[in-house]
Amino acid sequence: MTDGPLRGVRVLELLGIGPEPFAGMLLADLGADVLALRRPGQVPGGGGLERGRPVAGVNLKDAGTADVVRGLLPSVDVLLEGYRPGVAERLGLGPEDCHAINPRLVYGRMTGWGQTGPLAATAGHDINYIAVTGALHAAARAGQPPTPPANLLGDFGGGGMYLVTAVLAALVERARTSTGRVLDVAITDGTTYLASMLYGMHRDGQWRDEAGTNLLDTGAPYYDVYACADGRHVAIGALEPQFFAALADLLGLGPQLREDRDDPARWPALRAAIAAAVLTRTRDEWAALAVGTDACLTPVLTLSEAPRHGQAVARAAFADGMPRLPLGRAAATASAADVVRAWGAPPELAAAVAQWPSTPTR
Residue 112 in contact with residue 144, Cβ under 8 Å? no
SS3 92: coil
Question: Which residue, 122, 113, 114, 61, is CA-closest to 88?
Answer: 61
Residue 164 in contact with residue 26, Cβ under 8 Å? yes
Residue 190 in contact with residue 212, Cβ under 8 Å? no
Residue 297 in contact with residue 290, Cβ under 8 Å? yes
Question: Which residue, 121, 206, 171, 159, is CA-closest to 26?
Answer: 159
What is the rounded end-to-end Cα distance, in angstroms, of the chain? 13
Question: Which residue, 194, 164, 126, 152, is CA-closest to 23?
Answer: 164
d(CA 36, CA 267): 52
Report the amino acid identity of residue 147.
Answer: T
Q: Which of 126, 155, 217, 338 is catalytic?
A: 155
Q: What secondary structure does DSSP assign to 99-149, as a single string?
A: HHH-TT-EEEEEESS-SSSTTTTS---HHHHHHTTTTTTTS--TTS-----
155 is catalytic: yes
125 is catalytic: yes
Residue 48 in contact with residue 71, Cβ under 8 Å? no
Q: Which of 97, 125, 202, 284 is catalytic?
A: 125
Strands (E), the chain: 10-14, 33-38, 55-57, 78-81, 106-111, 181-186, 223-227, 233-237, 297-299, 318-319, 322-323, 358-359
Tally of CB atoms within 10 A around 265: 7
Q: Which residues are catalytic?
A: 125, 155
